[in-house]
Amino acid sequence: METVFQLFKNGGVVMFPLLGLSIFSLAMILERSLFWLKLTRKQGKVLKKGLNLYEEAPEMADIMLKRNQHLPIARIFLAALSLKRPTPEKFRLALESAAQAEIPLLKRFSNSFDIITSVSPLLGLLGTVLGLITSLASLRIGEIESSQATGVTGGISEALTSTAAGLVIAIVTLFFASTFRGLYLQQIALIQEFSSQLELLHLDKYEQKGEIDNAITR
């Protein structure tokens, strides 16, 4: 604990904003990790079951999806299934608009992650520059003694603490941000795949109903 406090003290004033960025980054990483963990654990089963039920019993599919409205794909499917006798074009547009509405939730904090990965190293560099200015300001040209030189090198070593802290925060944040971005891209691909399957099922039902209606009118 004493070592951590000493490192924080050595880093100078920029360690305070770096501490704030690290806490903010940790909170976002925790929220996104829990979000994607819950999503990936339940979504696969819900998607397959939903498609099977829609093919055999559309009413049961609607009930099952309403029970899982915490999942983005369930809300997307419900937006289309809630339409009354939609044409294939309307059905597709409903799926696409609902999918677009879910994108901000899936990409949540992406801009904040980018800001932290960009700002943290710069703040660390600023702390190092301020530390070097302070160390060199106490050194008088032409009156360099061994004790003064030792103090300057020690000050330089301490000043580099902020740079190291900024880089650590940026690297950790970038790692998780890249992981979440990969999960987002997988999710978009999954939504497109299962939405296309649902469209095909709806198209089959629509065509079958049209054939029946034509047969009755004859």
Q: Does residue 87 have a pLDDT over 70?
A: yes
Mean pLDDT of 152-161: 66
In a domain, 141, yes or no: no
Q: Could you tell me if residue 194 is inside a domain?
A: yes
Q: Is 153 inside any structural domain?
A: no
Is residue 200 a part of any domain in this protein?
yes
| pLDDT (0 to 100) of residue 151 | 53
Q: Is the pLDDT of residue 141 over 80?
A: no
Asked if residue 152 is part of any domain, the answer here is no
Q: Would you say residue 2 has pLDDT above 50?
A: no
The count of structural domains within the chain is 1
What string of DSSP letters covers 195-207?
A: HHHHHHHHHHHHH
- Categorize the per-residue pLDDT at 63 as very low, low, confident or very high, splitting at 50, 70 and 90: confident
Which amino acid, 68?
N
Mean of pLDDT over the chain: 83
Mean pLDDT throughout 179-194?
A: 93
Share of the chain above pLDDT 70, in %: 79
Q: Is a pLDDT exceeding 70 seen at residue 157?
A: no
Residues 6+ apart with CB under 8 A from 23: none
Most confident of 2-6, 44-48, 209-213: 44-48
Q: Tell me which residue range forms the domain holding 213.
A: 14-117+174-217
pLDDT value of position 162: 86
Amino acid 32: pLDDT:
95
pLDDT at 85: 81
pLDDT tier at 3 (50, 70, 90 boundaries)? low
Q: Is residue 36 part of a domain?
A: yes
Mean pLDDT of 133-150: 59
At what angle are helices 58-67 and 15-56 packed, to 10 degrees?
Answer: 160
Decide if 103 is inside a domain: yes
pLDDT of residue 204: 84
Does residue 138 sit within a domain? no
